[in-house]
Structure 1
């Protein structure tokens, strides 16, 4: 079963790599010089607006309001419909404009000097202007959208929270790291990561860091030729980029995702697979559309269920309504995703949710994963 899935994975990613160069919007390969020139053009445009008695403004696509599912590639992509305008006007809009200009200045200096800043460091460049880090973070996302360049190419890095274990090695700033059956932190700056090597038979992406640690305690990665990876809940960009880097080079490795059987676990599954709504312009380079859902499935749960909250039910209705789950069952991918939808509806109708730990009543997590993979019990 695993060999057949590896062959299907290879076929999928071979075609994906052939098609994606014609589709990508936010390219990972824009040179620093070109990004600097785009910033210069924006500044010249702003100065021209001032000298022609116009209110300086920026127009850019809103990622969260321009997301559409592309069934040809299996990822969320950026459409070209809803633009956001930030202009010099009242006090609130002028401050937003000033924050964006400040972030563009920091990006320009970093690219020019070859330095990098964390999101936290950008906030502290001018805490009075930004007010709180949410505002500087928003300005960073706006700058990426305005420049049409992924944030990780703007010399801005986040602290990172992803963890990895298993059969993989990589070079981090010229230091070779051999992971093995232990938990290692994923480097926050993927630009200094090179020579990712593995002959793993599969990757398992796990919602919770506690579960990855449990697998290490059970010596799972001594028994199975696999890579384990977690974003510690909703994944950050670095975690998703690391997983995608492995697949870019070794597309035959099947990717499994293990989450709680609850609406948030399902949304995490969708974020890894289709890409996020918030960063739809970057999904082409971050999503893992040939991921398979290993569990937790409804029939796997043996413990006492928890009831759904009103918030859970609202999230389920929102997830069920996604276009990924409205396609005709005319392809392998579409049929799988309709099964995902059926599981979500089953969750709603039963009014039950389960955590990954519910499978521990009989056995351990390693045994559960081993049985699922041996039986081909993935969706």
Structure 2
């Protein structure tokens, strides 16, 4: 706890320095200005194959002026959140982003604003969000061969095959992880995840852990996958739709996202392998044509932009699959395997893939 105490002091110092800058400007009769790294630009990003996408040191800066009508509200919102964070760190208590929104709904206007401001502050102070004592409510689910303790001492058991466990809101506080899982499988969609639960997948083949972020993953689902990888050192597979959206979701787990690149170290799992659904599987398994969908214009442009991303050169296997999708101009959901036979996914497809190495 000595470490936490020093770290908390450091965070308080960071916030005090920001406030000091504002007070100094005011005493010099100048309008206070806050400087934030620009989080939405690829120009600020460098790629490191061991870490993923991360914010480069010479990032371009956005300034938020207190005397300018277009940014005065944002200036006030940042100060408000800073004061909340300061109190939380000082009293060593936690709040969710939702709590902060309800602290002043008038000022924030929407939950999304709070989420954005918290990430901006995290980036400005170069401090991970959890260290600011702000938690997100999770949307992810996890199940399988896994037990752990929450920070408050609650014992969580994920073995139940009928009910999944909600991913913790405080991944950093998880300890005593016990598991004999042979692999972790990230599942893009809730529907597929539920199907695997119903078919008792985590015990049938070999002990494993399945997790879903229900589409685009929230930060807690990503932190959880990273925590499991750090602790268990087992393979991490991704099961996503054979479409550009599914590939993008898998890339977020593996390489991170531009918006959260300042926290890449704790969020990315560079060892993620693409288990399926592979574009080449569609041909290999002769998935019926009526289970396939033509790529839309939006799909095509997403696919093109994915292929241009800096990390794909280090993944020739992924590149080949994506180029195949570009040529065939079709996509398919995981559910399309049911066109071969209703339980094809769990009884044939996944067991064969995992036994004989059908991933890239």
In 2, are the aligned partners of 1:212 and 1:230 still within 8 Å (CA)?
yes
Which stretches of structure 1, 4 residues or more, deviate above 6 A after TM superposition? none
Residue pair 2:237, 2:274 contacting (<8 A) in 1 also? yes
1:110 aligns with 2:92: no
Unpaired runs of at least 5, structure 2: none
Residue 250 of structure 1 is matched in structure 2 by 232
User: Could you tell me which of 124, 137, 156 is aligned with 1:177?
Assistant: 156
Contact 2:184-2:210 within 8 A present in 1 as well: yes
- Residue correspondence of structure 1 range 1-379 to structure 2 within 5 A: 31-65=7-41, 66-71=44-49, 73-79=50-56, 80-172=58-150, 173-180=152-159, 181-182=161-162, 183-223=164-204, 224-251=206-233, 253-301=234-282, 302-303=287-288, 304-325=291-312, 327=313, 334=314, 337-360=315-338, 361-362=340-341, 363-367=343-347, 368-379=349-360
Q: How many Å separate the matches in 1 of 2:22 and 2:157?
A: 50
TM-score (normalizing by structure 1): 0.86
Conserved 8 A contact 1:67-1:76? yes
Q: Which shows bigger deviation, 314-323 or 133-142? A: 133-142
Gapped runs of 5+ residues in structure 1?
1-27, 328-333
Aligned 8 A contact 1:300 1:359 in 2: no
The match for 1:5 is none
Q: Which moved more, 1:284-293 or 1:189-198?
A: 189-198
Alignment partner of 1:111: what SS?
A: helix
Normalization by structure 2: what TM-score? 0.91
Q: Is the 8 A contact 1:170 1:178 kept in 2?
A: yes
Contact 2:279 2:322 in 1 (8 A): no
In the TM superposition, what is the alpha-carbon distance from 1:299 to its structure 2 partner? 3.0
Aligned equivalent of 1:17? none
In structure 2, the CA distance between the partners of 1:274 and 1:91, relative to structure 1 (3 Å rule), is same
C-alpha distance in structure 1 between counterparts of 2:67 and 2:271, whole Å? 46
After superposition, give the CA deviation of every residue in 1:60-83 in whole Å (9 maximum; x if it has no partner): 212332122113x15111112311
SS at match of 2:210: strand
Deviates more, 1:188-197 or 1:258-267: 188-197
Distance 1:106 1:74, change over 3 A: closer
Q: SS at 1:99's partner residue?
A: helix
| CA deviation string 1:149-180 (max 9, x = no partner) | 11122111111111111111111231222211
Give yes or no for contact 1:64–1:279 (8 Å, CA) kept in 2. Answer: no
Number of residue pairs matched by the alignment: 341
Higher RCO by CA contacts (8 Å cutoff, separation 6 or greater): 1
